[in-house]
Amino acid sequence: METHEAFAGGPLKLNMPVYISEAGDNLRNQAIAHLLKAYGRMYFDPVESTDIYTKQCAINVNAKELAVMAATLANGGTNPITKKKVVSPETSAFTMSIMATAGLYDDSGQWLYAVGLPGKSGVGGGIIAVCPGKFGIAVISPPLNDVGNSVKAQKTIYDIVKELKVNPYFVEPK
């Protein structure tokens, strides 16, 4: 929780009803954790690790806090408001590469093509996008589509990125 609070720049709380709901329905995550353990790629107890992950997914944040978290990644792991180093630039870069390839679940490839920025969606309807070295964006707008991403948040971020012309894959000929 301390790391998430450092990313957000202030105190956060666990949403117990969301945690309980998610914990009762995370069998796939538990199975993946056990499979990783069986192949020597999970270095901690799979049940405890899955539980911690589930709690992380149930932290209450508002759009501003989420945007500051995204901006912290964009700023190489240092919170741009508090100036506190939360993670190293290497950890920030690694995190953004995972976000780019898997942050929007089964729509990650379509997201990367359309937006061109690392993104991450959450069960509460929030999505962040990170423009490395420049800024972070956050939009919260449930409901979710069939793969678990907010339709309105995706559209909003797409429109902002298009307007600012920061999709590195969309190049207008000169």
Distance between CA atoms of residues 36 and 85, nearest Å: 31
Distance between CA atoms of residues 161 and 116, nearest Å: 9
Domain that holds residue 127: 62-167
Tell me the angle at which helices 46-56 and 27-38 cross, rounded to the nearest 10 degrees. 140
How much is the pLDDT for 88?
98
Q: How far is CA 42 from CA 33, 87, 94, 129, in A?
A: 7, 22, 18, 28
My answer on whether 77 and 56 are in the same domain is no
Q: What is the mean pLDDT of the chain?
A: 96
My answer on whether 87 and 105 are in the same domain is yes
My answer on whether 147 and 76 are in the same domain is yes
Distance between CA atoms of residues 23 and 14, nearest Å: 13
Give me the CATH number covering residue 6.
1.10.1500.10
Each residue's pLDDT tens digit, 15-70 = 999 999 989 989 999 999 999 999 999 999 999 999 999 999 999 999 999 999 99
Give me the CATH number covering residue 73.
3.40.710.10
Q: Which of 15, 39, 60 is the last residue of a domain?
A: 60
> Is residue 123 over pLDDT 90?
no
My answer on whether 81 and 160 are in the same domain is yes
Q: Are 135 and 80 in contact (CB under 8 A)?
A: no
Each residue's pLDDT tens digit, 72-118 = 999 999 999 999 999 999 999 999 999 999 999 999 999 999 999 99
Q: Is residue 172 part of a domain?
A: no
Q: What is the residue-wise DSSP string for 55-95?
A: HHTTEE--HHHHHHHHHHHHTTTB-TTT--B-S-HHHHHHH
In this prediction, residue 128 has a pLDDT band, given cuts at 50, 70 and 90, of very high
